[in-house]
Chains A and B, each alone.
Chain A
Amino acid sequence: MKPAAESATADLVGRARVGEQAAFTALYRRFLPLVHGLLLARHPPPIADELSQDCFATAFAQLQQLRDAERFGPWIARIARHQRAREHRTLPLEAVAEARAHGADHEQQHEARSVLAALQRLPMAYRETLMLRLAEGLSEPEIAAHTGLSADSVRVNLHRGMRKLRALLALTDDGPPAPTAADDTAPSQRALGAVTREEVAHREVARGDRP
């Protein structure tokens, strides 16, 4: 038997249909970046994490309904795109972007928040493709193979999306603008002391009145 990770998608689907646990695991590992990237394009990171799990649980339960086993990627992508947040609540990306950027210091979190906010303003097709490429690290052929899009479409989405993203971020050769002084201290180290107007204003940017 071939190792599950190296098997063709159709083969994995066939084995998963008869309940082989290793095949479920291989499908999960292989398509997790796709599913998570698509959800990240629509939801804040903590919700995208949660919904990724839900999406696979739903897909695995409906595996018998998949007609063309080779097209598992586009099929689960469709499920991910229609996955709804629990309690029907979708939260603004910016509101939680900084909550758990694993492994990032505060300055990186600030920059990532700016990029996420800018991405949120792009058309969905560009947002999805850029998220898969920049956040999940998929290449153009991988994105095309997983989503069922043509390589040309992926390339156009990346190119145009990047152009729009660059305009939104007003990127220069020096990269995104640096965080303000108010953010120099990591939140966890910040004493519960006096609050400044500048700090409040900085936090207010692009944030709604509800979480």
Chain B
Amino acid sequence: MSTVSDAAQRFKESDFGSVLEENSSAALVLPGLLLWSMFMLLPMVYIFILSLTNAEPANLFVGDGRLLGLVPLGEADFIGLENYIELLFSIQAANHILSGAYGSVLDLFLSDPVAVFNYQFWNSFLVTWAFVIVSVTGKVILGIAIAMIMTGNRVRGKRYLRGIIIMPMGVPVIFSILVWRAVFSGAQFGLMNQLLLNIGIIDQAINWFYDGRWLAFSTYVVTEMWLAYPFMVLITVSALQNVNGDLLDAAEVDGAGFFSRMRHVILPSIRRPVMFGTILTSAASFQQFLIPFVFESGSPNRENELLLLFAYKEAFNQNLYGKGAAISLTALFFIGMFMWVAVKRGNLAEEAGEA
């Protein structure tokens, strides 16, 4: 870290007192940083430590064992990378690895590649990415479409309409998700069932969360799209308002149809902001916890548990804190990646003097 070396350099050049005086303004930001570190950074470090132990309530909440006198460890023991190995590999393969019989793992892999891996983890991991890809595609298309309609030249009362359609952004997420659970209720009077029964597409109520894995998955996607479209619409509307009107007029005079104008004028000029919004909304999809939590806990058969819910359930339902911590850390790694990409692609760091 260059901060550290900068600081060291300055210490060499000047005496301690003047350094302290020069940087006395740091006292203004330190309380906030400390507060944040106590409640966010410390748990991040702690969750890494937990992921290396066999922590569970039975050994974690007894005794006063503390690491460095700070973080409670109870009587949990360090078990190295065992959690991670058990997470990535099936029980059989993990046992081979832990006993050092790597050859047997290779044999197993050659005879049945799938049997080497831990189905539950990889299933959760892959379904999370499937959720990200499908829902983000939907969100971006829906967001651009709504934004185009709501900024149309011939639409009267656009401002009020936009005010109405971004309201989902203002409601608590738990409210929206509970409303959507009611919409997808398996009962006959769930909104979606009522609708489909009335149109006559189905003649029996569908049990949306239990009648099939991908059916439940599609309810997640629809809900996520509804949760996030206001954000995409906001981003796209402000981008559309910056589209060069002269360029559009020129294209129209030159006889460009709607689709050519869209492709050659509108899309190139809104590309950057929409790209940035896409990164942020992908991160939001990746971190989605409440939808599967509220929608019958990732049913059917725990198949649709997105990564964060998987970690939560391993810890609080199965009492495997160590394993849950290892999953959380995997999720944290990807969340960190999203942060980094967002800042790089959004050129947000200019302000902080980092190119």
- The yes or no verdict on A and B being binding partners is no
